[in-house]
Chains A and B, each alone.
Chain A
Amino acid sequence: MTQTSTSQISSVSVRFCGDSGDGMQMVGSQFTDSVATAGNDFATAPDFPSEIRAPKGTIFGVSGFQVQFASTDIHTPGDTVHAMIAMNPAGFKSNIGDVEHGGLVIVNVDEFDKKHLEKCGYAEGYNPLDDEDITTRYKICRVPMSRLTRESLASDEDISVKDIDRCRNMFALGIVCWLYSRDIQPTIERLQHYFGTIKKKPHIADLNVSAIKAGFYFGETAELFPARYEVAPAALPKGEYRRISGNEALVLGLTIASSKADRELFYASYPITPASDVLHGLARLKQYGVRTFQAEDEIAAVMSAIGASFAGDIAVSGTSGPGLALKSEAIGLAVMMELPLIVLNVQRVGPATGMPTKSEQADLLQAMFGRPGESPVIVLAASSPSNCFDMAIEAVRLSTRAMCPVVLLSDGSIANAAEPWCIPDVKQISTIETPKPVAGDANFQPYKRNAETLVRAWATPGIKGLEHRIGGLEKEDGSGNVCYDHENHAKMTSFRSEKIKCLEDVIPELEVEGEGETLVLGWGGTRGTILTAAKQLREDGVQVATAHLHYINPFPKNLGEVLSRYKQVIIPELNAGQLRMLIRNAFLIDAIGISNLSGRSFFVQDLVEKIASVIQGVEA
């Protein structure tokens, strides 16, 4: 056995790609667990095909999973890929463009036959592995994974070839684990637990274990790879960690928040990518009393949630942009009825059906204004997978506090991406007080307001003596009776927006990181990219400050003051300038926008260059 040299590196980005049947998400997720256990910081980005069962071997059927792991603090899955594992030509073809020059590309060479090459659209007779442009640009390692997997598992009796072939992904994982000096024992234990204990298929567990071992030993003996790498553990704050995706964090946050508010959680939704996993996750929490309701359409989902809120539940309806459009009239009803309601919008690319599996931040103005009449709602935006947990709790807290709907914006990229999360102590999370009425209050009036918060009480059916009728028609201040009086309407309209403004006092002020004359202001899921870009700019000697908005209506109280401290404000967004429009309007400043309309997040490098050129432009 030869000893390959091991080099220390601070961060690596690895992408697994192949056919959707090749188990790429599984392998990516297992590898992420292994880097997590080793104490690295990490960020993942799955890339699902939008077709459910695209023909095997085609470009449409390619599934990918990227993970960056590091010995330092990181926030993005990486602009480019240091090592790619391609299980078939289609995966190779659609992902090779993202591999950095000199990057390592491990291919399952058995799949690079005439049939598969042509299936993904390579010209007849062409094989990219023989193309000198490609072989000089990347370090290509040809591994006959199909054959080796079969050979190493063949001795097991009574096992179908199909079952064996399905273990190719684990063979690939074995190679990658060897390459990055990962202990495979924890992965083996997880595989045994998953296939053996949960799925009750111990023979499949054994096959997978044999395959990962075979891949690992192959790495060790094959002398195919130029080097081995080691990524030291990151200096993360001490504590107990888990991996969390944005949608998982929403599920947990909503469940915790409703218990902190001492109310039942009602979640009504209509299936829609990329929000459905929140429905799936909550549907599995009946042991916590969570009620989920898959409605007949988006409108029924939000209307049943408003009904549940009227009856006293923490009511939530999750969707994506097209669904938010369908819910808009109903959200206006909750504004008028002054009932708490949380609408999750896990944004995707629009308009219309757009690109459901790709990500954009272009629903901000829809969330702010997409309703008839003056109908302000609270608008919040989560900035990372784990931040979805905190913002879900904030959504419940603010919605019940102000008796007003919240639109909580997430997006496809943070919904499915995962990062390490220092597990919070649930006991330390504050309880949520809801505006309770006085039972039997002889002077009860449904629209009588608390003088300080301007909020009416949440009087729910079943409470004796507080019977009342509310609805979508304009209400008389206090009594809540239908009222067409002009002065009353003006007054009620201003109450509806003023009570949101009052929340300024109970939300955190905006924090700024770094110094300089330029502020880069972001919101939502681009936080990681902006932080990484700013760090690089500072390393390059460019002074820049950053701040990130989680509260968009109301804005943090100090936002105006913060903005006024900078010579220029740059707002990078995955839309045509929506936050910029709000900021310009609210503060009359000439904020400069950096837009990305590609349906995926900024590349750090692009953002670095764009910010730098704006700054230089001003200096020149």
Chain B
Amino acid sequence: MSDVSLPTYKPKDFATDQDVRWCPGCGDYAVLTAMRKTVANLGVKREDVVFVSGIGCAARFPYYMNTYGAHTLHGRAPAFATGVKLANSALTVFVVSGDGDLLSIGGNHTIHTMRRNIDINIVLLNNKIYGLTKGQYSPTSEVGKITKSTPHGSLDAPMNPIAMAIASGCTYVARSLDVDVKLLTQLLDRGARHRGTSFVEVYQDCNVFNHEAWFYASQKDTRSENTILLEHGKPLVFGKEHENAICRVGDAIEIGSPESDSVLVHDETSIEQAFLLSQLFQPAFPEPLGVFYIDDSQPTYNDMLHEQIDDVKTKHGDVDLQTLVSGSHTWTIR
């Protein structure tokens, strides 16, 4: 931390000597590109960055980032990352993992990390399928999904990661597409600079087991109809010619004309609006991309922990281990 000058990094400085082993065409490659760009421009030193992952295809991520990294256990990345951050709050900590990892087996840790507002960055690569175990349905798969484990169609409704994050008290909640590297880089960068837990859901294409799952959102010809870009302070309009808008009529959300008085203007500081937007899904609505919600005012757990320790230290003044060991009541045997 004593060096004043920061090294200037290029994205390729973060490549490692390991061959990237994702399937050709996998959406993870785009995320890796965006992440290397993000970290290169973040203004932090390589040695102060830690990537943590759980298990799954996405969880290979740390091996491909030339920083410190830990490829941990299935679902447990947020808990491991919590320990890293609490031990050394000067570190910039990323968790990158998949939907099965962060929402199913590790759902509890994801929720509690967000609730505590620990200053780490969680990137959820959501491909709506289990890739590494070769194609079972995941907690974000749509009902009726036919997979090896659900030959007659899955029965359980998918989770809503954005709504879960907002409800868990996450203070930065955003969504991007894997292929939109520009948007993704912006969102990752803003999340990394945010003090508190940041959460970016990435619609990620599993080229092998769930190819085209996100095509409605990612393909040039359909994207403008099926997604809507959230920009703070701007009206929520979408469509090829910006011919449609998200309107709020009473308690309901409807699609209306951009000319209407009831067009919603995006307010990324409104938790209520963020939650409403988190409910917009195809085919009824375009799916929002961008920052749903940000709250910069909340203290982080790691800061509070250190403040509490500093306060107690100030209150106690000089302490000495011998006094601690001796305790308050002693007697002498002569």
Residues of A at the B interface (CB closer than 8 Å) are 33, 36-37, 39, 190, 233, 236-244, 252, 255-256, 259, 264, 266, 268, 285-289, 291, 293, 295-297, 299-300, 303-313, 315, 329-330, 333, 337, 422-427, 460-473, 481-482
A594 to B47, CA, bound (A): 56
The residue on A at minimum CB distance from B308 is A286
Q: Which of B75-83, B271-279, B280-288 contacts A (4 or more CB under 8 A)?
A: B75-83
| Chain B positions within 8 Å of A293 at CB level | 82-83, 86
Against A, the Cβ 8 Å flags (1 = close, 0 = not) of B60-85 are 00110111111111001001111111
A291 to B85, CA, bound (A): 12
A472 to B49, CA, bound (A): 20
Partner of A300, one of B62, B66, B76: B76
**Given contact pairs A239-B333, A299-B76, A303-B76, A337 touches B70 in the complex (Cβ within 8 A):** yes
Instruction: With both chains docked as a complex, state the minimum distance between the C-beta of A444 and any C-beta of chain B, in angstroms.
Output: 12
Instruction: With both chains docked as a complex, state the minimum distance between the C-beta of B205 and any C-beta of chain A, in angstroms.
Output: 24
The residue on A at minimum CB distance from B326 is A423
**B47–A461 CB distance below 8 A:** yes
Instruction: With both chains docked as a complex, state the minimum distance between the C-beta of B317 and any C-beta of chain A, in angstroms.
Output: 8
Q: B151 an interface residue at 8 Å Cβ cutoff? A: no
| Chain B positions within 8 Å of A470 at CB level | 69-71
List, sorted by A's number, 7 A–B pairs whose CB atoms are closer than 8 Å: A239-B333, A242-B326, A291-B87, A307-B82, A308-B84, A427-B322, A482-B63
For A36, A299, A467, the residue with the greatest tally of chain B CB atoms inside 10 Å of its CB is A467
A422 to B111, CA, bound (A): 47
Partner of A311, one of B49, B72, B83, B325: B83
| Chain B positions within 8 Å of A472 at CB level | 55, 71-73
A465 to B45, CA, bound (A): 11
The residue on B at minimum CB distance from A248 is B327
A422 to B325, CA, bound (A): 10
**B108–A300 CB distance below 8 A:** yes
Partner of A465, one of B47, B63, B69: B47
For A303, A424, A466, the residue with the greatest tally of chain B CB atoms inside 10 Å of its CB is A303
**B63–A240 CB distance below 8 A:** no
**B72–A303 CB distance below 8 A:** yes
The residue on B at minimum CB distance from A239 is B333
| Chain B positions within 8 Å of A307 at CB level | 52, 70, 79-87
A299 to B81, CA, bound (A): 13
| Chain B positions within 8 Å of A241 at CB level | 330-333
**A299–B327 CB distance below 8 A:** no
| Chain B positions within 8 Å of A236 at CB level | 333
**B313–A313 CB distance below 8 A:** no
| Chain B positions within 8 Å of A466 at CB level | 47
Can you add 7 more A-B contacts, CB < 8 Å, to A238-B334, A293-B83? A307-B84, A307-B87, A311-B83, A333-B72, A461-B48, A461-B91, A467-B67
**A423–B325 CB distance below 8 A:** yes
**A464–B45 CB distance below 8 A:** yes
**B70–A469 CB distance below 8 A:** yes
| Chain B positions within 8 Å of A333 at CB level | 72-73
A315 to B80, CA, bound (A): 12
**Given contact pairs A242-B326, A425-B322, A462-B91, A291 touches B80 in the complex (Cβ within 8 A):** no
**B333–A311 CB distance below 8 A:** no
**A467–B66 CB distance below 8 A:** yes
Instruction: With both chains docked as a complex, state the minimum distance between the C-beta of A527 and any C-beta of chain B, in angstroms.
Output: 22
A469 to B325, CA, bound (A): 39
Instruction: With both chains docked as a complex, state the minimum distance between the C-beta of A276 and any C-beta of chain B, in angstroms.
Output: 19
Instruction: With both chains docked as a complex, state the minimum distance between the C-beta of A70 and any C-beta of chain B, in angstroms.
Output: 14
**A471–B87 CB distance below 8 A:** no
Against A, the Cβ 8 Å flags (1 = close, 0 = not) of B38-52 are 000000011111111
**B62–A469 CB distance below 8 A:** yes
Partner of B80, one of A244, A255, A303: A303
**A311–B91 CB distance below 8 A:** yes
**A255–B18 CB distance below 8 A:** no
Q: B150 an interface residue at 8 Å Cβ cutoff? A: no
The residue on B at minimum CB distance from A244 is B327
**Given contact pairs A311-B88, A469-B63, A423 touches B330 in the complex (Cβ within 8 A):** yes
A469 to B61, CA, bound (A): 10
Against A, the Cβ 8 Å flags (1 = close, 0 = not) of B91-132 are 100000000000000001101100000000000000000000
Partner of B316, one of A287, A460, A461: A287
A466 to B76, CA, bound (A): 24
Q: B220 an interface residue at 8 Å Cβ cutoff? A: no
A187 to B66, CA, bound (A): 64
A424 to B87, CA, bound (A): 29
| Chain A positions within 8 Å of B309 at CB level | 286, 289, 291
Q: B4 an interface residue at 8 Å Cβ cutoff? A: no
Instruction: With both chains docked as a complex, state the minimum distance between the C-beta of B7 and any C-beta of chain A, in angstroms.
Output: 10
Partner of B329, one of A190, A238, A266: A190
Instruction: With both chains docked as a complex, state the minimum distance between the C-beta of A450 and any C-beta of chain B, in angstroms.
Output: 21
The residue on A at minimum CB distance from B3 is A464
Q: B312 an interface residue at 8 Å Cβ cutoff? A: yes
Instruction: With both chains docked as a complex, state the minimum distance between the C-beta of B2 and any C-beta of chain A, in angstroms.
Output: 11
A374 to B170, CA, bound (A): 39
Instruction: With both chains docked as a complex, state the minimum distance between the C-beta of B323 and any C-beta of chain A, in angstroms.
Output: 9
**A299–B47 CB distance below 8 A:** no
| Chain B positions within 8 Å of A291 at CB level | 86-87, 305, 309
